[in-house]
Amino acid sequence: MEKRTFTRRQVLVTTSVGAIATIANWPFKSIFFAGKDDSKLAIHGGKPVRTESWPKWPVWDRSAEGDMIEMLRSGKWWRGGGGHVAEFEKQYAELMGAKRCLATASGTTALLIAMHVLGVDAGDEVLVSPYTFIASYNAILLSKALPVFVDTDPETFTIDPNKIEERINDRTTAILPVHIYGLPVNMDRVNAIARKHNLKVIEDACQAWLAEYQNKKVGTLGDLGCFSFQNSKHLPTGEGGALLGDDDEIMDRCHAFHNCGRPYGSVKAPTPYPTRGSNRRMQQFQAVMLMSQMKRIKKDADVRLENALYLTSRIKEIPGIIPYQLADGATRSAYHYYPFRYKKEYFNDAPRKKFLVALRAEGIPCWSGYGPQNKYGLIQEALNSRGYKRLFSEERLRRFHEENHLPGNDQLCQEAICFEQNMLLGKKSDMDDIATAILKIYENRDKLV
Ligand SMILES: Cc1ncc(COP(=O)(O)O)c(C=O)c1O
């Protein structure tokens, strides 16, 4: 990209007329036009833009305490035949527009169940987005399959659909698209490719509750969708997860597998354990917490969406700040993080790390997002193991390394910056603080390095 630096005047000239009007009306115009001392960066001893705290997460609703105590006193703590867990499954399926839900111990176990039931076996290959939490890779590796990374589109932060087909071979069994940060993947493209090559689609929607693709909830668009309810999530219960699916036979098999291989529905019992399985069950207290948390999830999602769109409108004209773009067909993000990209060329070549330190000093918590995990130690460790050497030829493992170069993903890992979801639960003025701080740093970019 062409290297450009801007003076304040050039910023005004190079943005559209509408944007100039917007800037003039910004609450941070005082910084924009104020004297030098007032706009001194906090890292250099200036006054931070913000000193107030941000909305806390998770939020406990005391009205659930009666139900929690009753459940504890009942002594019925494991899911057994159903109870609160079955009630939660019904409510979550309804909320998401799915036929069936199976509650699980975690998002990771949901992914593992999905892969087993959909036939991902030792020596298979699974196409996966590299830009994700490490659990997506681990679930494939624990299934003794090869995670084959498909490059990321840095604009959308999600799998690049144009790069999927070139990675398919006769061992490929499934595609695992990840709706990372709650940003929906282009599911029409993924599903069309999967149909063409007879592959299963397991959606990793572990960060994407109520996100929508063509106005349908993500996690209901592939063969199975997986969710996490870990402590930081929008529907939190410490640890927990769920699978969504519309096929009764597949969901019966998921249930049987998650319950040590005991019969369930169409999984019938000529013997007590007709199928392999594992204990991946949710506990009753988790379901009671989830049903209480679920009361706020839609309202929270609306607040996050409104604030995210507002924040985008505020920062998109700042040179070098590139907000996320929704993939084609995506209609709503869940914003588990609010992501954007930082182009250092517009900030006097100040490394992202400097920008992050400066932004934090202004009272705006921020994170650099995921690293290039496709190059992390776990991959080498797995591929060097006895099992993987038995399952995959030397030639295949060599080619895996050759192909493990993902320019789009590398670029994103260098440029991404994220705000946590709880920051979006505040007021518009909180978003103004974020925009003010970013613009203040832009204004002082010559002093950043
Ligand atoms: C994208 C993604 N996939 C999978 C998981 C795994 O979920 P859990 O931590 O509930 O096992 C997470 C959890 O953070 C996640 O963010």
pLDDT of 38 reads 59
* For ligand 1, mutation pick of 111, 115, 133 (most atoms within 8 Å of CB): 133
Q: Does an H or E element contain 416, and which?
A: strand 416-420
For the CA of 179, the nearest atom of ligand 1: 1
Instruction: Judge whether 223 and 173 are in contact, CB under 8 Å.
Output: no
DSSP H stretches of helix in 322-443: 352-361, 377-383, 386-391, 394-403, 407-415, 428-443
Beta strands in 91-245 (DSSP E): 100-104, 125-128, 146-149, 152-153, 158-159, 172-176, 200-204, 212-213, 216-217, 224-228, 241-245
What pLDDT, on the 0 to 100 scale, is given for residue 19? 42
Residue appearing with tokens 């959909």: 118
Is beta strand 100-104 parallel, antiparallel or unpaired with respect to 241-245?
A: antiparallel
- Chain position carrying tokens 């910084």: 31
Pocket flag, ligand 1, residue 133 (CB < 6 Å): yes
- pLDDT for res 81: 81
The alpha carbon of 129 and the centre of ligand 1 are apart by a number of angstroms equal to 14
State residue 286's pLDDT score.
97
What is the 433 CA–ligand 1 centroid distance (Å)?
Answer: 30
Any atom of ligand 1 within 6 Å of the Cβ of 108: yes
DSSP code for 1: -
Where does 98-178 show beta strands of DSSP type E? Answer: 100-104, 125-128, 146-149, 152-153, 158-159, 172-176
**Beta carbon of 158 within 6 Å of any ligand 1 atom:** no
Structural contact between residues 310 and 139, judged by C-beta atoms closer than 8 angstroms? no
Mean pLDDT per 10-residue run, the chain (449 residues)?
38 38 44 55 97 97 96 95 95 98 98 98 98 98 98 98 98 98 98 98 98 98 98 98 98 98 95 96 98 98 98 98 98 98 98 98 98 96 98 98 97 98 98 98 96
172 lines ligand 1 (CB under 6 A): no
Contacting residues for 228 by C-beta, under 8 A, at least 6 apart = 106, 107, 108, 110, 135, 206, 207, 240, 241
Q: Which residues contact 207 (CB under 8 A, 6 or more apart)?
A: 133, 179, 180, 181, 182, 228, 233, 334, 336, 337
Residue 171 Cα to ligand 1 middle (Å): 26
**390, HSE (Cβ side, Cα atoms, 13 Å):** 5
Residue 241 near ligand 1, beta carbon < 6 Å = yes
User: Cα(98)–Cα(65) distance, rounded to whole angstroms?
Assistant: 29
Compute the distance from residue 197 Cα to the ligand 1 centre, in Å.
27
Instruction: Please tell me the distance between residue 13's alpha carbon and the centre of ligand 1 in angstroms.
Output: 44
Cα–ligand 1 centroid distance for 4 (angstroms):
39
Q: Taking the complete model, does pTM exceed 0.85, yes or no?
A: yes
Q: Which of 108, 131, 159 to mutate to test the pocket of ligand 1 (most atoms within 8 A of CB)?
A: 108
- Top mutation candidate among 111, 157, 207, 231 for ligand 1, by most atoms within 8 Å of CB: 207
What confidence score (pLDDT) does residue 170 get? 98
* Ligand 1 atom nearest to 106, measured from its CA: 10
For residue 136, the CA-to-ligand 1 centroid distance in Å is 7
- Nearest-CA residue for atom 4 of ligand 1: 135
